[in-house]
Amino acid sequence: MRQPLISKSSLTSSPLALWLWVSITMLAFAGNALLCRLALRQTSIDPASFTAIRLLAGAAALWLLTRTRRPFDQAGSWLGALALLGYAVSFAWAYRGLTAATGALLLFGAVQLTMLITAFARGERWRWSGWTGLTLALGGLVWLLLPGLHQPPLLDAGLMVLAGVAWGIYSLVGRGSAQPTADTAGNFIRAAPLACLGLLLVDPSMDARGVTLALLSGALTSGLGYAIWYAVLPALRASTAATVQLTVPVITAIGGIVLIGEA
């Protein structure tokens, strides 16, 4: 059997390799926020179309990587697919009214809380990083949501928090993945048709640049990025996996200033 292009053994062969790939994954996560915000701010594409194209592109890219390996009806799960869909839909609609950095802070604050609370409920003892991450997550969310302190639109903020909970569930499901690329492909292939059904509920709008940004988000920063994430997750404690994602808002904020002009 051929060695998968993205496997746990190759990505976690040493602590240096593990954290290199974790860092690349955090860059991919920040890239998703920037591509989505850029598309919704500077092109005519709507959130439903962006989401459908993003998931279709991710499914196609992952199918090309895994088509000769594990059958898709045996890879991934409906729980993972529904969590992915819930995250992607809420994520895109939330970014209509949030800056890239604000959205990322809300998203990964909610991810942090979801994963840490679940880890605690399962009996995983928190290290100092877990308590630090929880404090930062709660502090960031309170700072954003208190009246008068850069308060984002309530509906958009709520959608992004929902996206964070869904992504936290998706990440927790991935900690048990034995074949990360195949499982990620299975999740995308299940979720993409459901996202396309959502187009029936809206009046789709798109242009060439918006479609291109959605394709990049789907194939690269989502499809490949999430496959790498599923590969490294089993090597991380749930609390560590939650805490490390708090680097994403910082990366996103810098990218938002440089690439989008958002202060």
Domain ranges of the chain: 14-260
Residue/partner pairs of 59-62 with CB below 8 Å, 24 or more apart: 59/185, 59/188, 59/189, 59/191, 59/192, 59/218, 59/223, 60/218, 60/219, 61/218, 61/219, 61/220, 61/223, 61/224, 62/181, 62/184, 62/185, 62/188, 62/189, 62/223, 62/224, 62/227
Per-residue confidence band for 149, with pLDDT thresholds at 50, 70 and 90: very low
Give 165-213 pLDDT, tens digit per residue.
999 999 999 888 888 888 999 999 999 999 999 999 999 999 999 999 9
Q: Which of 2-6, 42-46, 69-73, 124-128 is predicted most confidently? A: 42-46
Please give the pLDDT value at position 202.
93
Please give the pLDDT value at position 70.
55
C-alpha distances (whole Å) from 260 to each of 40, 90, 253 are 11, 21, 10
**Token pair belonging to 223:** 């499809």
pLDDT higher for 241 or 48?
48
Q: Name the CA dihedral angle for 41, 44, 49, 51, rounded to a multiple of 10 degrees.
A: -20
pLDDT higher for 170 or 113?
170
Q: Decide if pLDDT at 146 tops 70.
A: no
Please give the pLDDT value at position 8.
54
pLDDT higher for 104 or 7?
104
Q: Decide if pLDDT at 126 tops 70.
A: no
The percent of residues in the chain predicted with pLDDT above 90, rounded, is 49
Determine which of 1-5, 153-157, 222-226 has the lowest per-residue pLDDT on average.
Answer: 1-5
Q: Could you tell me how far CA 238 lies from the centroid of its own chain?
A: 16
| pTM metric for this prediction | 0.87
Q: Decide if pLDDT at 147 tops 80.
A: no
Please give the pLDDT value at position 167.
94
pLDDT higher for 161 or 147?
161
